[in-house]
């Protein structure tokens, strides 16, 4: 075997490797001899098939198998001999395929960079400690009560307002003719909820019980029923009743609605839930801030291929999210378009920066973990699989089987656990100052951290264009909880019977 190093620049190593044809043929012959003793062909007893026939039938497949085995073993041997640490799977490319010729191939390797660790004991970090006060618990109880609210007849003969429930009969028409799926009787619609297509609910505000209202609007361009998409339609609406929300009193009855015996017990549970929730938010924010310090405190060359793979994975997620938002908006959903006013070149630049950060942190945490004998126990791994299995009720066994047979998927699943172990190890060395904050102050700090990571100033860059949001593409990004947009439903549903 002849090995020639053809490139040694930065983290890239490339070799030309030549395997004598005689070595390849020897392995092929040995494999064919094994087949001769096993193969069975018509007209011959098992084990007595002539070598010429076996070679003619299986020669090419055996040759391909031998070549692949040779590539793998040679590559692994070269890495071990030269003590090379690849950052990703080496890339082998065959130059000449053995057909009476030597096997020649190139092997390209991207190396893990040399990383000099910063002094972790000199890191200074602020730890935010959320303090839950009685007013926070009371506000949570008010929200809980609002979620349990009921509706009753509106007082007096007043007109419907946003937040009211109207009971309506309606018939949808296009060109004066009713269309399929556009009628319902006794339908309960909360005005302002966004349940129906844009414009429908707004035109019922001000209506009174017993009145007839004609709703005119244009159907969304991406409406599921193609014959209605983008068309002008009307709805003949009969308002049967106007109902107003009845506040759910914050008392023992509210507690019972949530499965506890008393209001005091509900308050206790609510406080514990808030403390757990905001402690988690604080931990995520702290981890993000700490990772920022690690990322900026370690300058080393990044393997370009690893960065490219990470960027492509992020970019695919971005494109999918972008398409989902465009489809939702076309169907009438009122959602924030995070990609509005962003050109593709700017987006790619921003998300490549996110990819570089993730690769830098991934390599850094891996090296720190290795240097300090930090690893995952079998219990850590089994726990991660069990938690994932709980997300798929009825398919737990299949989830376990999937991860047991898919090492790459398992690695992705447990990577955050390893990351947390390394971060917790490092946090013990850092100088941490604790500051008490309210929940609102905590969320403001989280939002500021996200905007700083995205390089934004009041959600806009200096050029006036939005910066890429890291939260969904950066696994370590923390983001303040955000209210989900209301789900849009078709204009109407048919009543049964």
What distances in angstroms separate CA 86 from CA 15, 78, 89, 95, 465, one per listed residue?
14, 11, 7, 22, 39
Q: Burial level of 205, CB count in 10 A (0-12/13-18/19+)? A: middle
139 contact partners, CB below 8 Å, separation of at least 6: none
Domain 2-110 belongs in CATH node 3.30.70.1050: yes
The domain segmentation of the chain, as residue ranges, is 2-110, 120-130+278-454, 150-246
Q: Pick the more confident residue, 483 or 354.
A: 354
Percent of all residues in the chain with a pLDDT value above 90, rounded to a whole number: 67
Instruction: Check for a shared fold between 2-110 and 120-130+278-454.
Output: no
Grade residue 220 by pLDDT with cuts at 50, 70 and 90: confident
**CA 334 to CA 325: how far, in whole Å?**
10
Closest CA to 207 of 229, 239, 232: 239
- pLDDT above 70 (res 496): no
Place of tokens 């094994």: 34
- Give the number of other CB atoms < 10 A from CB of residue 341: 11
> Residue 415 is encoded by which pair of tokens?
């990577």
Alpha helices in 336-490 (DSSP H): 344-371, 378-390, 396-404, 407-427, 439-454
Alpha carbon of residue 310 to chain centroid: 13
User: pLDDT tens across 310-342, in order?
Assistant: 999 999 999 998 888 877 776 666 667 677 777
Give per-residue burial for 237-258: e unless 16+ CB within 10 Å, then b.
Answer: bbbbbbbeeeebebeeebbeee
Percent of all residues in the chain with a pLDDT value above 70, rounded to a whole number: 89
Model-wide pTM > 0.85 = no
| pLDDT score, position 94 | 92
DSSP letter assigned to residue 284? H
Give strand pairing partners of 91. 108
- pLDDT above 50 (res 158): yes
Residue 232: CA count within 13 A, CB half-sphere? 4
| pLDDT score, position 454 | 62
Rg (C-alpha) for the chain, rounded Å, is 32
Dihedral, 35, 36, 42, 44 alpha carbons, nearest 10: -160
- pLDDT above 70 (res 477): no
| pLDDT score, position 468 | 52
Grade residue 453 by pLDDT with cuts at 50, 70 and 90: low
- Average of pLDDT values for 289-311? 95
What mean pLDDT value characterizes the chain?
87
Return the minimum-mean-pLDDT range out of 68-72, 446-450, 462-466, 478-482. Answer: 478-482
What is the third-level CATH fold of 150-246?
A: Chitinase A; domain 3 (3.10.50)
CA angle 56, 60, 64 (to 5 degrees): 160
DSSP letter assigned to residue 376? -
Return the minimum-mean-pLDDT range out of 7-16, 21-30, 294-303, 463-472. Answer: 463-472
| pLDDT score, position 332 | 61
436: helix, coil or strand?
strand
- Average of pLDDT values for 73-95? 94
For the domain covering 120-130+278-454, report its CATH number: 1.10.3120.10
| pLDDT score, position 351 | 93
Between strands 165-174 and 177-190, the pairing is antiparallel
Backbone angles phi, psi at 169, to 5 degrees: -110, 140
User: pLDDT tens across 174-204, in order?
Assistant: 999 999 889 999 999 999 988 888 899 999 9
CA angle 425, 426, 432 (to 5 degrees): 115
CA angle 126, 129, 135 (to 5 degrees): 145
**CA 203 to CA 456: how far, in whole Å?**
39
Task: State the DSSP string of 377-393.
Answer: -HHHHHHHHHHHHHTST
- pLDDT above 70 (res 162): yes
- Average of pLDDT values for 377-401? 94
**CA 237 to CA 109: how far, in whole Å?**
70
- Average of pLDDT values for 94-113? 90
Give strand pairing partners of 63. none
37 contact partners, CB below 8 Å, separation of at least 6: 47
Return the minimum-mean-pLDDT range out of 65-74, 92-101, 201-210, 394-403. Answer: 92-101
DSSP letter assigned to residue 344? H
DSSP letter assigned to residue 99? S
């Amino acid at each position: 075997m002849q090995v020639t190093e053809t490139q040694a620049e930065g983290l890239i190593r490339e070799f030309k490797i030549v395997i004598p044809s005689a070595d390849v043929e020897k392995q092929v012959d040995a494999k064919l001899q094994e087949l001769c003793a096993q193969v069975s062909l018509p007209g011959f007893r098992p084990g007595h098939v002539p070598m010429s026939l076996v070679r003619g039938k299986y020669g090419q497949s055996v040759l391909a198998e031998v070549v692949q085995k040779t590539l793998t073993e040679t590559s692994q041997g070269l890495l071990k001999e030269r003590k090379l640490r690849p950052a990703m799977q080496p890339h082998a490319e065959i130059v000449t395929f053995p057909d009476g010729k030597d096997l020649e191939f190139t092997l390209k390797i991207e190396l893990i960079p040399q990383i000099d660790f910063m002094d972790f004991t000199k890191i200074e970090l602020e730890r935010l400690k959320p303090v839950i006060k009685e007013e926070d618990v009371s506000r949570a109880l008010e929200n809980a009560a609002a979620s349990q609210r009921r509706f009753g007849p509106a007082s007096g003969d007043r007109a419907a307002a946003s937040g009211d429930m109207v009971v309506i009969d309606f018939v949808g028409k296009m060109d004066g003719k009713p269309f399929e799926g556009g009628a319902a009787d006794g339908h309960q619609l909360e005005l302002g909820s966004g349940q129906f297509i844009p414009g429908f609910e707004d035109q019922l505000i001000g209506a009174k019980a017993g009145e007839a209202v004609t709703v005119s609007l244009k159907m969304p361009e991406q409406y599921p029923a193609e014959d209605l998409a983008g068309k002008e339609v009307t709805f003949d609406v009969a308002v049967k009743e106007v109902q107003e929300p009845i506040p759910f009193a914050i008392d023992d009855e509210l507690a019972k609605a949530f499965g506890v015996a008393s209001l005091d017990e509900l308050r206790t549970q609510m406080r514990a839930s808030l403390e757990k929730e905001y402690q988690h938010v604080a931990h995520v924010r702290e981890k993000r801030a700490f990772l920022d310090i690690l990322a900026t405190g370690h300058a080393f060359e990044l393997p370009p291929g690893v960065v490219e793979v990470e960027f492509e994975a992020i970019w695919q997620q971005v494109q999918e999210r972008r398409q989902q938002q465009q489809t939702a908006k076309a169907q009438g959903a009122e959602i924030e378009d995070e990609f509005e006013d962003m050109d593709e070149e700017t987006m790619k630049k921003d998300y490549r920066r996110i990819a570089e950060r993730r690769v830098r942190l991934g390599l850094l945490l891996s090296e720190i973990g290795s240097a300090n004998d930090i690893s995952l126990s079998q219990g850590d791994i089994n726990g991660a699989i069990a938690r994932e299995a709980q997300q798929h009720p009825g398919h737990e066994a299949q989830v376990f089987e999937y991860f047991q047979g898919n090492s790459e998927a398992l690695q992705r699943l447990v990577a955050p656990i390893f990351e947390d172990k390394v971060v917790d190890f490092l946090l013990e060395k850092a100088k941490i100052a604790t500051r008490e904050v309210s929940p609102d102050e905590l969320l403001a700090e989280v939002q500021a951290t996200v905007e700083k990571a995205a390089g934004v100033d009041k959600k806009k860059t200096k050029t006036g264009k939005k910066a890429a949001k890291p939260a969904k593409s950066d696994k370590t990004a923390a983001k303040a909880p955000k209210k989900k947009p209301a789900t849009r439903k078709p204009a109407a549903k048919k009543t049964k019977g």
